[in-house]
Every structure is written in structure tokens, then in C-alpha cells.
Structure 1
């Protein structure tokens, strides 16, 4: 086999592959055997029909097509390896020459991973904002704790902001009730938002037994986004009574004896959370510094596919949250153009980062062993709320293991980059970056220690035989 590559652009190549007919013969023989099993010819047993008879009965062209369809994928892979090309998508293949008993020639156009010079990633410097637990943060957290232990008391007055009401809802359009747009006996906190536009305003001032109608838009169903008239009826108004934050409450809600000790613990936990947020921001800041060091041409087809995928995910999440895209953009104070521009930038940065991390993983010669893969499977399953074994089975059955291996390798590459960096906050203090997980997320050392045994037990349940231990352990980026 001979192959040649033509560079169409920094991210697209055209392979021309010439296959001598003798290399096509095994696939040709297999095609004859397959067709012989499929046809009935008087005088011959099924599967024993000679090649010359098959040529006469079904035609030589049919046999050649079958053989070529089997040969092309193999020869395409060989040509990629021969020319050190890394494809990013399915190729566009065309048979350009076929001379029976002589030669087969085909071309393959495909998006490829661009070549670039890996920038120096050791000892990067970045800056993030200071982290501080304010009195407002503390008060908000304590209020949330008190609300968990609060009691609801029925009141004989109009609903006010923060009250809990029991309501019936009914949406109508053109005088007819919308199918599926009714709810009865629903509990709702006035002022909470996130349900129907105009609901909170309509509820203010309503007492038990009173109704009102307001205009809104449906947030789900076949008529999502369409204007409707909504009738809301209040059947009960309840006021939440919060317990005092004192020693008695501390003993009820925690392991501490005094409110002072409980407050100190809350402040510490808030601080820990903010430090983890800061570490995550530091990780992103380091990666941004690295991205600024290199310009990598990106395949537009890959960018478009990722844009469409992310846009679809956002729309699904908004629908589940009962929001339309218009409402989301209004809340975020963004125009459609600003949203699309920001999404495009984030997608391009993400793809560029993947290319860089892949190269770092190669340079560092990282590998992935069976234990690392099992732990990653468990973590991914937990993130998606699935059973680890069922998640693992799905990944194996649909051949997603190489993608998970690549995720781990990229996480290792990111760890090397971030942990060698120096990141300071605005006050000049160095940010601790030693808690980066292999998947690129920031971990809490105390929580990591508590979860270690559970993760290990779950990982042991994942069937190691399916993972192909030896192959995965030898896998490189």
C-alpha cells in the first residue's frame, strides 16, 4: 500500500491511498464466501457456490463493492498511522480509481489535530481575588440553618413576602384551560421565584379563599413560551417562625454546646468552601495564562458541533428549571449576541485546552492503570447519580472507555501544570493548589479522606475483567 498526504489547511488533510490488488484479495475471498452463503444456485450447496458462478449470477461489481467496503476502513487507519495523523472526525472517503485485478485507489478528507509548539508550562504565574467570609455570609448561612428547623403557623391575614401558601393554579388560553397546566394543593413560598413570571406579585395581598388572575408564559409542555392567563387561588397562608440562634439551638442542630462554638464552626466551613472556590478559580486562571501563550487553529466543524451540543444542554437545563432562554438572558442581562459570543469563546478555549493537555500528557508519558479507571468510573457515576456498575457497563458496551481514559490523562496533565504554578491572591498571599484531583476538579482534603474508603469499595465492585486491565494500564495519551 502507498499513501500520500496533502495539507488542505492546518486542520484538514487529504489522504490518497493506493492499494495493490493482491492486498485486496483476502477481503475479496471473504466477500465471495459471504455471498455464497446468501444465494441459492441450483446444483450447488449453499456456501459452496464457485466464484465464477457468483460473478455470473450477482455480478463481479457486487463482490468488489463488498470487498472494498471491508478493506477501506483498515487501509484508512493504516494510512493515518503511516502519516502520523490524528483524526478528529469521520472522514469523507471517495473511491477514485478501481482497476479489476490491478489496483484500488481512494481519497479521504478528514479534520485532523493541528500541529503546534507546546509552550513552556512549568512555573506559570497567575492572580485571583481575595477570599473572605463576611458577616453577611455568616448571617445568611445561619438563617438557612434556622429555616431548616423553623415551624409553619397558619395565619388569618393576607400573604406577605416570605410566607408559605397553599395554592391551586390553572392556565387558560383563549378561554380554554390548557391541558396539563393545572396544579392543586401546591406549597409555595412567596418571593422564592423560579416558577411563573408574575406569580409572586399576584400572591402578595391574597388571603385564604381569594383568587386572582395574571398574565404569564408557560415554562413547560407543548406550549412552552406561549402567553396564557393564570388563575391562582390561595387556600392557606402560613408564616414561618424561626428558632432563636442560642445555645439550645446549637445543641439541637449540631454537636456543639454553645452558639459561639457553632458560629465558629460555620465560619470555618464557609471559609473552607471559599478556599476551594478560590483554588478552582486559580486552576482556571493558570489555564488562561497558558492559553494566552499559544494560538492553535481549530477545525470549524469541531467548534460547530461543540457549540450545538452545549447550546442544547443549556436549553434542556433551562427547560428543567422552568425557564425560557429569553427569561434566562433577561436575568443575566445579556443579549442573544453577547450570549453567543461568550459561548463561542468558551468553546474555543475548551477545545484549545484539550489539545494542550493532550500534548502535555504525551510529553510527560502519563498512563492510566486499572485502579485509576475504576475510581474515575465511580466518580463519574456519582456525579450523574447512577449506579457505578450500571454506569461502567454502559461505558464498556458503547465503547466510551477511551474517552474516559483521555479525561484522566488530561486531568493528570492539568495537575502537573497547576501544581507547578504560583498563584497569589490580590493581597499577595500564595494560594494552595495541592488538592487538584486527577479529573481536574479541586478536592477538600478532609472530605477526600472521608470518602476514600467508600470510593475504593465502590471501585472494587466494578468488573475489572471488562476493563481490559493490561490494555488500559499500557494506554498512553
Structure 2
């Protein structure tokens, strides 16, 4: 055994290494050749200068550094396997005694992924919700269906009402001075949608097409742009067009329009779908609660570095989601009046819970000797190919090329750990 491992606080370990002088000598020979091939020495072809001349040019430091890196990298990798350690941060050399012609010793400190001190995770009992769909829920679903098939008719006579969509021009000012983002042309606004500043839409009810009016509002104190928060503003508004939603009548004709024989058949199908959705939601909630109970029963010290990494991942995923909707993260944060650090802090609690869950599931996988087969890996990549409408071979090439096969295996293993918790639960 060339290394001794000692656990210290905060999920850190210190590994002490000893290296025989013969191995040190081999490392110095390799290091000299590596350095020599990088340095031009006048009068010699690259890599052919004697060591004494090379050392006069660059000193012994680069050779010692290269030799130590060769030894340390090799021994560190061996120690991780020997002690079954999974580092989650960069290692730090804390002590080093490394000279040519002598036995070497050094210490490396590194933060490693912790294991959970497990509580109960088998035989858990969790209440499952009883699914009941009310007549009101059916009526609302039918109303939503009517709304999705509504037509928008232009109002030529009459005044605006709540629910109308008006095409407006608006120009805002504060103390008579226009402000950035306060102007719009031919903007469609649904009155009563709550998409504008509180009080704005209500002041547009009761006007005819072609009307001009002044809307007076005050921006909320918590408005996303600090320079506008709590400021009184005026908007000159012109109403160019009024459109009113006309709902189809809920009868047999409407049922046939949406592919049912009659209204009763539509109602029965709506009830069935609501029941199926509610049942599935209850089942998902039941499973999530079982896993959360197992996580809550465990004790684990979640390293800060893992939480930080999870927060960064969440931020990257959110930024990607925004870009798909045509936003930049910087624009969103400005709109919300938040800095990146404030945004990260808002997600730390959720990130810590996610990391704890992952650690618990990893610990269960180890305790239960859960393995992942080649068939399961292939099936997972087939699913990913289907989701992304891609060829299996292309997905496999990308995953292997990016070195993500390990993460794929980890995800499968965690899912199997969660399934173990669920399958081992006691019936109510």
C-alpha cells in the first residue's frame, strides 16, 4: 500500500503517499526528456542537450515540477481506486518532500462525495390521495374547451368590456418625460388579463373604437426595473380596434365539432380524462413523497462545493430555456431587478435538497449492489433518441464523445434506487 487515507472534517480526506526512490528516479528521467523536448538550447537539436546544460538554461525547477506531476497524478489516481473515493473538487497538495535520489512523500487533501447515514428507506408508509372529480371541475374543463374554439369578432358598435382584446397604441411618461420601454404600437391587450401594470386595463373599459384616453397608474414597489418602481406614470392610449370573444354553444353540435356523438359523450370523455390525469398526478405525488421520506430519514452533510455546482447547473439550464424563448439571462435579470448572485441564492435551498437526494440514492445503490446492464444503457439512449427525434447511433456517438456515459449510468442507477424505495413501501 503506497498511500494512507484519513478522513477529516467537511467531507475532506488527506491521503499520505510514500514513493520509493527508484520510482522517483524513473520519473526524473521522464521529466528531463519532456522538458528537453520543449526547450530550444543553442547548439543542440531539440531534446538532445545534456541535462547539465539544460539545467543551466532553465534551472532544476521545471524538471522537478514535471517529475512530481508524473508521480502525483499516477499515485493519486491509484489512491482514488484503492480507497473507493469520488472527488468533487480539485485536490490540494499540502505537504511535499520530493528530491531526486531519495524516497519521496507528499500529502493531498481533497473534498470527496459523502455517503449518507441511512435511516429507514424500506417499508415506508405514505398516504395516497383519493381521486375525486367534481362536477365543477368537469364544467371548467368544458368551458376551457369552449374557449379554445371561440371566435374573435370585431366590435363595430359598442364599448370595450372585460375579456375584449383591444389593439392599442400607448406612450408612457413620468413627470412628463418618456421612459424606456413605455411606448408600444398596435399592441394587442386582453382586458382583464392582468398582463399590464395593475389598474391599467380597468381604465380602458367603456370606450369605443377610435377613442383616446389617458391612463394614470403607479408602478408597484417591487417592480422589476428599480428605476420605475413606485413611480406614478401617465399613458396616452389610442384604441384602434376591439375584438370580442364569441363562445360556441355547449350542445350536441359542438360535441360533434370536436369529434363526439353528442354532448353526453363529450362530458363522459372529459370526466374520464380528468380522472386519469388526477390518478396519475396522485401516483406521481405518492412516489415523490416516498423518495422524499427516505431522503428526510437520512443524515448527510452536503458539501458546499456540490451545492455551488448544482446552482451553476440550474442557472445554465435556466439560461438555455430563456434563449429558446428569445430571452437573454441578462435581460431577464434586469427585468426582475436581480443580480446573478441574488438569483443563485434564491435557488440554493432547492439545489441543496437535490444534491442530498442524489447522495441518498447513490448510497442506496451502493448498499443494495444496484448495477446497470448494457441493455439498460442501450434502452436509455433509445429513449433519448426518441425524445430528440434523432437516430440511436447519433445519440450514442454524442454521449460517448462528450464523455457522458458515466452520468447516463448514474442517472439510471439513481432511478433504480428510487424504484427500490417505491417497490419496498408498505401498502396502506
Taking structure 2 as the reference length, the TM-score comes to: 0.80
Partner of residue 129, structure 1? 129
Partner of residue 69, structure 1? 69
Instruction: Give the secondary structure class of the aligned counterpart of 2:7.
Output: strand
The gaps in structure 2 that reach 5 residues or longer are none
Partner of residue 35, structure 1? 35
Query: 1:174 Cα shift?
Result: 6.8
Aligned residues of 2:16 and 2:107 also touching (Cα < 8 A) = yes
Partner of residue 296, structure 1? 300
Partner of residue 216, structure 1? 219
Partner of residue 92, structure 1? 92
Partner of residue 250, structure 1? 255
Change over 3 Å in CA distance of 1:73–1:234 after alignment to 2:
farther
Aligned residues of 1:296 and 1:352 also touching (Cα < 8 A) = yes
Instruction: Give the secondary structure class of the aligned counterpart of 2:132.
Output: coil
Instruction: Give the secondary structure class of the aligned counterpart of 1:48.
Output: coil
Could you report, residue by residue, the CA deviation over 1:216-255 in whole angstroms, capped at 9, with x for unpaired residues? 37999xx84431747344321111001112222122113x
| 2-structure distance, mates of 1:382, 1:174 | 57
Query: 1:267 Cα shift?
Result: 1.1
Taking structure 1 as the reference length, the TM-score comes to: 0.73
Change over 3 Å in CA distance of 1:265–1:26 after alignment to 2:
farther
| 1-structure distance, mates of 2:27, 2:196 | 62
| 2-structure distance, mates of 1:323, 1:137 | 35
Partner of residue 358, structure 1? 362
Aligned residues of 1:11 and 1:113 also touching (Cα < 8 A) = yes
Pairing 1:9-158 to 2, within 5 Å after superposition: 9=9, 11-155=11-155, 156-158=157-159
Instruction: Give the secondary structure class of the aligned counterpart of 1:9.
Output: coil
| 2-structure distance, mates of 1:218, 1:236 | 32
| 2-structure distance, mates of 1:139, 1:131 | 17
Instruction: Give the secondary structure class of the aligned counterpart of 2:219.
Output: strand
Aligned residues of 1:219 and 1:324 also touching (Cα < 8 A) = no
The gaps in structure 1 that reach 5 residues or longer are 329-335, 425-477
Aligned residues of 1:169 and 1:233 also touching (Cα < 8 A) = yes
Query: 1:11 Cα shift?
Result: 1.8
Partner of residue 306, structure 1? 310
| 1-structure distance, mates of 2:404, 2:133 | 42
| 1-structure distance, mates of 2:245, 2:102 | 87
- Comparing 95-104 with 138-147, which one deviates more in the overlay? 95-104
Partner of residue 166, structure 2? 165
| 2-structure distance, mates of 1:365, 1:76 | 26
RMSD between superposed Cα atoms in Å = 3.9
Query: 1:261 Cα shift?
Result: 0.9
Partner of residue 234, structure 1? 239
Could you tell me which of 403, 409, 414 is aligned with 1:399? 403
Aligned residues of 1:377 and 1:388 also touching (Cα < 8 A) = no
Query: 1:295 Cα shift?
Result: 1.9
| 1-structure distance, mates of 2:214, 2:427 | 56
Query: 1:177 Cα shift?
Result: 4.5
Aligned residues of 2:24 and 2:102 also touching (Cα < 8 A) = no
| 2-structure distance, mates of 1:381, 1:189 | 40
| 2-structure distance, mates of 1:234, 1:393 | 56
Aligned residues of 1:196 and 1:219 also touching (Cα < 8 A) = no
Instruction: Give the secondary structure class of the aligned counterpart of 1:238.
Output: strand
Query: 1:158 Cα shift?
Result: 3.3
Aligned residues of 1:225 and 1:324 also touching (Cα < 8 A) = no
Could you report, residue by residue, the CA deviation over 1:347-395 in whole angstroms, capped at 9, with x for unpaired residues? 4443332222112223443333455335534655777x78677776654
